[in-house]
């Protein structure tokens, strides 16, 4: 049943929403024992919301007719704050933290009748491409198609449950350097990362302030468009939020893509892309052409060549600043006060942060040190500006740019263990460019190879999410 049909039945009182929510909770618990998609299942909150909705439906409350998500369960990446529900960003250092407020996007979801079902598994603070850099004491989420493989990162749990759930459902993910599109590719779902600032970051536990973006992950492009309609908008509590007119994304679902121009990024199909991935992405491009779009190759060297270095300089620098507060005094898990400040902070952070979090804190702190700031961080910010200019030039000619989402098929956990940290970082080579530039991008499932999903990445100019939904809908229709 589509989400549209489900909402219609809820509004007509054809579905007992409390009974439905109870069944959803039981299914989530069962899935979680095998796949580890949730850090927390918010059973009490979900049933409370369901009971409130059921009462209003029985009372024939007229405002309910306008609720966009009425009765739809929404899972939330653990780095997004939900009032009174443990929100840890996947890190033991934040265990026990229950926010006293809802993030902007959670406020919107609740206002539109969505039911919060739980907090999904992720790489600690978003530090990873495979959701294997989980915090101390957490379990690694598994690919919904093959349990021996990664479901991608860092929004791995969000993408995994989006694919595995048998019930109408949409996930809220978050991306800093590709953490929405990459797991969406590995799990055969749609994942939309919006323009930086299009969705308020208020209530998001920071990784990199100039990079973080919240976006929807769903089984269909219609699901993604629906949740984007709900969560977009200006948030007065967020200084990076854009005060621009909201879009109606559903109107792009049936729009023709005739006369739209798509640029195929030549450098994105160079060495390192698996042949099976390349073949399926080109099949996706052919589907766009069959629906009327015009595709043409374009050279876009700067984001591919320098994107990773630029992203990791900016991202680690901002992460080391943001994580400095988790020292066991005002923020983060605390212990008995013994020794000097440095001894106490070291003990708290050493025990409660994972290896990758420590690595990025060290890298970022080094890049920000006196004597190195100009050579690394400031230079990376200058390259970011050049990258944006190169993208802007391309968008004068093209409505969207296309590449593989990830250069490889979902790897086995045994294969990931053999990768060096640098090889891990290389997985984001296609995705760091649009993230550094703050551009909206969408993973579109384009097929299977060796029984594993392949995703195609579509990138648009700032505030042009509608074009991505339009193109994504055309591919979905053509399959």
* Per-position b or e across 365-397, b if 16+ CB within 10 A of its CB: bebbeeeeeeebbeebeebbeebbebbeebbee
**What pLDDT does residue 63 have?**
78
Backbone φ, ψ for residue 296 (5° rounding)? -150, 145
Give the tokens for residue 82.
């939900």
Catalytic annotation, pick one of 129, 131, 154, 155: 154
Q: What's the number of CA atoms in the CB half-sphere (13 Å) around residue 75?
A: 34
**Looking at 67, 68, 75, 77, which residue is catalytic?**
77
Neighbour count for residue 476 (Cβ, 10 Å): 17
Known catalytic residue at 77: yes
Contact 332, 73 (CB under 8 A): no
Report how far apart, in Å, the C-alpha atoms of 68 and of each of 195, 200, 243, 282, 462 are: 22, 19, 22, 35, 25
Tens digits of residue pLDDT in 95-141: 999 999 999 999 999 999 999 999 999 999 999 999 999 999 999 99
Whether residue 433 contacts residue 312, with contact meaning beta carbons closer than 8 Å, is answered with no
Report the topology of domain 1-479: Amidase signature (AS) enzymes (3.90.1300)
Task: Read off φ and ψ for residue 83, nearest 5 degrees.
Answer: -55, 130
**430, 266 contact by CB (below 8 A):** no
Instruction: Please give the pLDDT value at position 479.
Output: 65
Q: Is the dihedral of CA 189, 304, 213, 355 positive or negative?
A: positive
Phi-psi region of 72 (alpha: psi -120 to 50; beta: other; left: phi over 0): beta
Q: Angle at which helices 43-58 and 17-35 pack, to 10 degrees?
A: 160
pLDDT score for 399: 98
pLDDT of residue 373: 87
Question: Residue 8: its pLDDT value, please?
Answer: 94
- Series of mean pLDDT values for 10-residue runs along the chain (479 residues): 94 94 98 98 98 90 86 98 98 97 98 98 97 97 98 98 98 98 98 98 97 98 98 97 96 95 95 93 97 97 95 96 94 92 94 96 92 90 98 98 97 96 91 98 97 98 98 89
What SS3 state is found at 85? strand
CA–CA dist 436, 117 (Å, integer):
31
Closest CA relative to residue 296, chosen from 288, 305, 304 = 288
User: Is 175 assigned a catalytic role?
Assistant: no
What does the pLDDT read at residue 372?
85
pLDDT given at position 342: 92
pLDDT digits 0-9 by tens, 358-405: 999 999 999 988 888 888 999 999 999 999 999 999 999 999 999 999
This prediction's pTM: 0.97
Query: Does the annotation mark 179 as catalytic?
Result: yes
Alpha carbon 252 to chain centroid distance? 21
Identify the pLDDT of residue 380: 96
Residue 292, phi-psi category: left (phi > 0), alpha (psi -120 to 50), beta (remainder): left
How far apart are alpha carbons 164 and 140 in whole angstroms? Answer: 16
The token pair at 103 is 């993030």
Contact 71, 115 (CB under 8 A): yes
Strands 169-175 and 73-77: parallel
Distance CA 284, CA 264 (A): 11
Candidate list 121, 179, 241, 473, residue with the active-site label? 179
């Amino acid at each position: 049943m589509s989400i549209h049909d489900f909402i219609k039945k809820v509004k007509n009182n054809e579905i007992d929403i409390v009974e439905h929510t109870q069944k959803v909770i039981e299914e989530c618990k069962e899935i979680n024992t095998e796949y580890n998609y949730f850090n927390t299942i918010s059973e009490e909150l979900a049933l409370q919301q369901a009971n409130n909705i059921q009462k209003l439906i029985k009372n024939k409350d007229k405002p309910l007719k306008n609720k966009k998500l009425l009765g739809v369960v929404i899972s939330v990446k653990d780095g997004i704050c939900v009032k009174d529900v443990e929100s840890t960003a996947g890190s033991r250092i934040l265990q026990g933290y229950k926010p006293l407020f809802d993030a902007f996007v959670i406020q919107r979801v609740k206002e539109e009748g969505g039911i919060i079902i739980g907090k999904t598994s992720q790489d600690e603070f978003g530090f990873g491409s495979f959701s294997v850099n989980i915090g101390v004491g957490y379990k690694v989420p598994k690919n919904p198609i093959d349990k021996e493989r990664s479901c991608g990162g860092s929004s791995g749990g969000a993408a995994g449950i989006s694919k595995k759930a048998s019930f109408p459902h949409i996930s809220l993910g978050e991306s800093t350097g590709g953490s929405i599109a990459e797991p969406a590719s590995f799990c055969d779902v749609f994942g939309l990362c919006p323009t930086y600032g299009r969705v308020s970051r208020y209530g998001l536990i920071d990784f990199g302030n100039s990079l973080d973006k919240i976006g929807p992950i769903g089984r269909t492009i219609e699901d993604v468009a629906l949740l984007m309609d709900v969560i977009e908008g200006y948030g007065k509590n967020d200084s990076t939020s854009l005060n621009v007119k909201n879009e109606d994304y559903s109107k792009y679902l049936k729009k023709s893509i005739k006369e739209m121009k798509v640029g195929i990024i030549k450098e994105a199909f160079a060495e390192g892309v698996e042949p099976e991935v390349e073949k399926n992405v080109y099949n996706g491009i052919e589907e766009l052409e069959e629906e009327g779009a015009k595709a043409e190759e374009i050279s876009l060297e700067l984001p591919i060549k320098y994107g990773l270095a630029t992203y990791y300089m900016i991202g680690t620098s901002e992460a080391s600043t943001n994580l400095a507060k988790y020292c066991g005094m005002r923020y983060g898990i605390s212990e008995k006060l013994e020794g000097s400040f440095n001894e106490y902070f070291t003990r708290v952070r050493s025990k409660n942060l994972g290896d990758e979090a420590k690595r990025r804190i060290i890298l970022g702190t080094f890049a920000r040190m006196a004597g190195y700031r100009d050579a690394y961080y400031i230079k990376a910010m200058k390259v970011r500006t050049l990258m944006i200019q190169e993208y802007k030039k391309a968008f004068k000619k093209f409505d969207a740019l296309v590449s593989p989402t990830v250069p490889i098929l979902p790897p086995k956990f045994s294969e990931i263990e053999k990768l060096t940290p640098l090889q891990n970082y290389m997985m984001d080579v296609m995705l760091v460019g649009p993230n550094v530039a703050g551009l909206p991008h969408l993973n579109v499932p384009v097929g299977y190879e060796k029984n594993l999903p392949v995703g195609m990445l579509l990138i648009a100019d700032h505030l042009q999410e509608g074009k991505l939904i339009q193109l994504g809908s055309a591919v979905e229709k053509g399959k």
